[in-house]
Structure 1
């Protein structure tokens, strides 16, 4: 049996992952509410986020690691945040987050091309289903004029796959990649804010929320919670983001999603969630949830 204090720590870890997912899901709404260019938004939110994560590293006395894998992960992080912001301005929040959610498919493809790791039957089935869902998004994009935004969102998913790949392995350090990527993006893009004209309180509040809540706070909560949260549980919880993100935008911004896009979203999200659960169970070495073994 688990000790009461251990069980409590594990419950808090799951709560942290849940809160991180909620924080991540606010990105689409806050970006829609800021009448700035995508690059100016991304620069400001990354600079604020880097300050938040830097403070966390200082308080916890964690050292920043510099190596090739960390730096490539940082470049992938820059690509993810930048392309995500651009896509949100060009297409719907639902299209952006769900198409970014295709990242595991690109991980499978990269592993096959770069490391000659042959995909299995489940990998191929997942790729087929996700690509089927993506086709529906592109059909919808052509009809609604969101084609460019959908392409940018797919590229965001490619960069997200790079984050997954570069943040695994003995030389990897996710929090270092995150901090370095956001600091670099912030320093490079924040000067673009001076070309904007709307510095009203609602705009600045949304920018601060993006930096503190949606990026900085979310990554800190996730990095803490994932240490004690079973992989299957984490996969299921983080699957809330592509669902909550467009719901928040629809509720507070009035953005509508077509039936075709909804169909594609259901196929993509369910396929990736099922694949993540299967993958986590394979790594645990048992079909039962990891919690049952602890």
Structure 2
């Protein structure tokens, strides 16, 4: 149980770091691919240092590569979406990930979600929709499409440890390599390198991508994919709030209600899941 709780904490801390992404991307006056190339190049230094310190050997096989594509897709689509639509739209559509986690788990791993998983998923998703009730635009714009694709890719990230012969941190490393290789050519075309842009890029690369992915990989070792994706519900609450406060992108009056629903849903889900695990452990003994 201690390992499970520590894993949950690491996933939660990763979500907190992810939440600064919207704001930092908004204040950098570059295109989405350029930002993604720069931040993942910096993240590779952080992740490479972690691999060296822990003496973790990199793996590369078809399953690790599949995970790397999920990481790359999440990085790229989210960066593009934040430049093409509002932070609220981008994050709410990306946070369809728990739905896709359940779908992928059922289709590829033959796992049947229980009522608690489905109920929590519905509550969290409903809360996020309520949170962005007055700003969510499902009109089929390119930015919204990118954000939805980020949600599909993000679901793959939560399933990194479930792939056969997989290695989550290796997938993250190679996914960031792909992101850097495809994004840096766009970065070299940019001309406006302000202090704000450079500081924001370092924050994105070192913390929002680098440290956050390391924490997530550690957390996923002991946290089920559906649970992890639901715990990350704090990200779509904090992300647009930070953008609204510091970038002056408005958030509607329903925000507090939606935030309450998301946070309460995640807390109740984890309490009930913990009790259920305890009961099952006692019955097994």
Shorter-chain TM-score range: 0.7 to 0.9
Paired position in structure 1 for 2:85: 91
Provide the aligned length of Structure 1 versus Structure 2: 281
Work out whether 1:286 is the aligned partner of 2:267: no
**1:42 aligned residue:** 36
Question: 2:173 corresponds to which residue?
Answer: 179
Q: More displaced, 164-173 or 212-221?
A: 164-173
TM-score, normalized by length of structure 2? 0.79
Label 1:129 to 1:234 Cα distance change in 2 as closer, same or farther (>3 A): closer
Residue 277 (structure 1) shift = 5.5
Q: Secondary structure at the match of 1:195?
A: coil
- Distance across 1 between alignment mates of 2:106 and 2:4: 35
Q: How far apart in 2 are the matches of 1:63 and 1:91? A: 39
Q: Compared with structure 1, are the counterparts of its residues 124 and 234 closer, same or farther at alpha carbon in structure 2 (3 Å cutoff)?
A: closer
1:3-152 to 2 correspondence within 5 Å? 19-126=13-120, 128-129=122-123, 132=126, 140-142=135-137, 147-152=141-146
- Superposition deviation, residue 23 in structure 1: 2.0
Aligned equivalents of 2:279 and 2:4: distance in 1? 20
Distance 2:121 2:227 in 1: 22
1:15-71: per-residue Cα shift (whole Å, max 9, x none)?
Answer: 765543332221111100101000111111111111221122122211001222211
CA contact (8 A) 1:24 1:215 kept: yes
Partner of 1:197 in structure 2? Answer: 191
Q: What CA deviation, in whole Å up to 9, does each residue of 1:214-237 have, x standing for no partner? A: 111222344456668999997786
- Deviation, 1:179, is 0.6
* 1:239 Cα offset (Å): 3.6
Would the alpha carbon gap of residues 69 and 10 (structure 1) be closer, same or farther in structure 2, given more than 3 Å must change? closer
Q: 1:222 to 1:114 in 2, by over 3 A?
A: closer
TM-score (norm: length of structure 1): 0.77
Q: CA RMSD in A?
A: 3.9
How far apart, in 2, do the equivalents of 1:83 and 1:227 lie? 25
Gaps of at least 5 residues in structure 2 are none
Question: For 1:96, what is the secondary structure of its paired residue?
Answer: helix
Other structure's SS at 1:167 match: helix
Distance of 2:280 and 2:225 partners within structure 1: 13
Residue 275 of structure 1 and its aligned partner are, at CA, apart by 4.8
TM-aligned CA deviation for residue 197 of structure 1: 1.7
Tell me how far apart the structure 2 counterparts of residues 230 and 260 of structure 1 sit (CA, whole Å): 31
User: Which of 125, 147, 158 is equivalent to 2:152?
Assistant: 158
- CA contact under 8 A between 1:232 and 1:280: conserved in structure 2? no
Which residue of 204, 209, 226 corresponds with 1:210?
Answer: 204
Query: Which ranges in structure 1 are unaligned for 5 or more consecutive residues?
Result: 1-6, 289-294
Corresponding residue for residue 4 of structure 1: none
Match of 1:167 in 2: 161
Whether contact under 8 Å (1:138, 1:147) holds in the other structure is no
1:257-268 to 2 correspondence within 5 Å? 257-259=251-253
Q: Structure 1 stretch 54-63 or stretch 239-248: which is displaced more?
A: 239-248
Q: Is the 8 A contact 1:98 1:265 kept in 2?
A: no
C-alpha separation in 2, matches of 1:122 and 1:227: 21
How far, CA to CA, are the matches of 2:194 and 2:55 in structure 1?
Answer: 36
Distance in structure 2 (CA, Å) of the matches to 1:223 and 1:141: 31
